[in-house]
Structure formats: structure tokens, C-alpha cells
């Protein structure tokens, strides 16, 4: 399977990445390489092998429903590029009115 330019553009959009023409070309090459490598792996018969999702054997790590206020609102806003002391401020994502 070979990816085309359109797929690269779509994937870049989904990841909210801006890529220029030359980057597109190298990305296309890289991603095709990755897919070819996967195809190689696909030659293995994995019929009875459970997919590996977790890297440990842990199950049921649960938490009691008890409130712990770890941080203040001030601390929550501290790392934000933009805030007004109460809310996070982000570029307008909707055009109202």
C-alpha cells in the first residue's frame, strides 16, 4: 500500500500540523517506509496472539470517590499562554453574531 499526497494532507490536518510542499514530499517517503515495514511484520502469523495494548499486567487500578483539591485555580491557570485570572483565553473557535 502506498500513501498519496492527499492522505498526507488529511493526516496533517487531523493533527493540526502545517506542512509545506518539500515537507510533504519527505513525509510521504517516511510514512510509506513505515507502512512497508508494517507490511513486513504482517507476514507473521498472529492468529492466536492477543493484541498487545498494555505494557504491564495490572488490572483494576481504582480510586475511591473522595475529593482531593490538589491545586488552586491560580495554579491551574499558571502555565496558560493567555488567561484573565479566571478563564483560559484561546483564539475564537466559533464566529457568533
Partner 1 sequence: MTAMDTEQKVMTEEVLNKYELVIGLEIHAQLATKTKIFSSDPAFFGAEPNKHTTPVSLGLPGTLPKINEEVVTCAVKLGLATHCKINLVNRFDRKNYFYADLPKGYQITQDELPICQKGFIVINLKDKEEKKIRLNRIHMEEDAGKSMHDKDDRYSLIDLNRAGVPLLEIVSEPDLRSAEEAAAYLSEVRRIVRYLDVCDGNMEEGSLRCDANISVRLKGAAEYGCRCEVKNLNSIRNLQRAVNYEFRRQVQLIESGERIDQNTLNFDAATGVTSVLRSKEMALDYRYFPEPDLPPLHLSQDWVDELRKELPVLPEQRIKRYTSELGLSEYDASLLTNDRSVADFYEELISVSSNYKSAANWVIGPVQSLLNESGKEISELGIPASAIAEIIQLVEEGKVNNSAATQQIFPVLTASPGKQVNEIARELNLFIDTNEDDLDAFIEQAVSKYPDKVVEYNKGKKGVLGLFMGELMKVSGGKIDPKTANKLLISKLESLK
Residues that bind partner 1 (CB under 8 A): 14, 16, 53-56, 58-73, 76-77, 79, 82, 84, 86-94, 96-97
What is the end-to-end Cα distance of the chain in Å, rounded? 46
Smallest gap from residue 20 Cβ to partner 1 (A): 21
Smallest gap from residue 22 Cβ to partner 1 (A): 25
C-beta closer to partner 1: residue 22 or 69: 69
Contacts of 31 (CB under 8 A, 6+ apart): 3, 8, 11
C-beta closer to partner 1: residue 21 or 57: 57
Q: Which long-range contacts (CB under 8 A, 24 or more apart) does 41-49 make?
A: none
Amino acid at each position: 500500500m502506498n500513501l498519496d499526497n492527499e492522505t498526507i494532507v488529511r493526516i496533517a490536518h487531523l493533527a493540526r500540523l502545517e506542512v509545506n510542499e518539500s515537507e510533504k514530499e519527505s513525509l510521504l517517503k517516511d510514512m510509506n517506509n513505515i507502512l512497508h515495514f508494517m507490511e513486513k511484520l504482517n507476514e507473521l502469523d498472529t492468529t492466536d496472539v492477543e493484541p498487545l495494548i498494555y505494557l504491564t499486567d495490572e488490572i483494576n487500578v481504582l480510586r475511591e470517590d473522595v475529593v482531593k483539591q490538589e491545586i488552586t485555580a491560580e495554579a491551574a491557570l499558571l502555565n496558560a499562554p493567555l488567561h484573565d485570572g479566571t478563564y483560559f483565553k484561546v483564539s475564537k473557535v466559533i464566529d457568533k453574531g
